[in-house]
Amino acid sequence: MNTVWSSYIQSTGELYESRALRFDDSSKGLWLGALGARPGERLLEVGCGSGIFCHRVKSYLPDVSVTGIDLDDSHIAFAREKSDRLGLDCRFVVGDATALPFGDASFDLCFSHTVAEHIPHDAFFGEQRRVLRPGGRIVVFSVRTRLNIRSDDAMGDEEAALLEKAWKRASETSDLDDSFVGAYELSEHDYPRELEKYGFEDVSVRVFTVMDYAPDSSDVPREKALRQINCRRLGVLSSLEKALNICPDALSQAESGRLRELINARFDERIAKYERGEKLWDFSTSTVLAVSGVR
């Protein structure tokens, strides 16, 4: 089994929850407009992770066929189970984006979200071109981190020091090769050139921004606000667990327990402030580049 990504880079739950906020119903029109899927089409998400984008697309467009593929077994197992619970007819396959296990011209639309940054482009774009029918389309979504608005998580000194210690120890002892993460990142202007390079025509670009964290905003319902705060909590706790997966003795049992206590206390206090109506105005955005082309 391959669980490198879910064990050491992004846990399955962390990935699903954070993407659920990014692909929120409030930004439905932006994502679907950039995707451009039509009724009856066969869609493939390359690098689907734990399946949230596939689930959103299928729930919005029930007349399309949706397949997701990812190399991480844990992500795919979660995606399948979640599909069953949601009652969504999505197909999920464990497989390699550089050697897609599908025949030529199998799909009308291939799309990916923050995946092209991590995979050699010859195979990544070449394989999608192969499995697309003539006239089929590719859409590459890339979050442009430098254009995002980030909020201050207000981590305390003791919490920051313990988390830094855990990751320092993990990095010193790890034999994990994660050099592929972000190794194939391009500038905004190079992505459309890359699609042209690999034979795609009628290339177009669009950029849009989604608000994925704004608990104090008056248009964010309480349930969603609490989910946003707890997603941040999950992200920090997952960071600790990934460090301990790499190096189980990065912290003593007492230290890891103390760190979890500090993390939970910080987010419990954030929720308490929210419930009291004490506004911090900590918000963040994700700015998305969407580049599409025709086979």
Q: How many CA atoms lie within 13 A of 87 on its CB side?
A: 0
Per-residue CA distances from 120 to 43, 99, 180 (Å) = 22, 12, 9
138 within 8 A of 202, measured Cβ to Cβ: no
Question: With the C-alpha atoms ordered 268, 238, 165, 281, is the resulting torsion angle positive or negative?
Answer: negative
Confidence (pLDDT) at 59: 97
Confidence (pLDDT) at 173: 86
141 within 8 A of 114, measured Cβ to Cβ: yes
Confidence (pLDDT) at 294: 98
pLDDT tens column, 236-273 = 999 999 999 999 999 999 999 999 999 999 999 999 99
pTM of the model: 0.94
Spatial separation of the C-alpha atoms in residues 289 and 231, rounded to whole Å: 24
pLDDT means per 10 residues, the chain with 295 residues, are: 90 94 95 97 98 98 98 97 97 97 98 96 97 98 94 89 96 83 93 97 97 96 97 96 94 97 98 97 96 98
Confidence (pLDDT) at 177: 79
Q: How many CA atoms lie within 13 A of 77 on its CB side?
A: 10
Confidence (pLDDT) at 152: 75
Spatial separation of the C-alpha atoms in residues 147 and 286, rounded to whole Å: 8
Q: What domains can you pick out in the chain, each with its CATH number?
A: 4-294 (3.40.50.150)
Confidence (pLDDT) at 175: 81
Confidence (pLDDT) at 60: 97
4 within 8 A of 72, measured Cβ to Cβ: yes
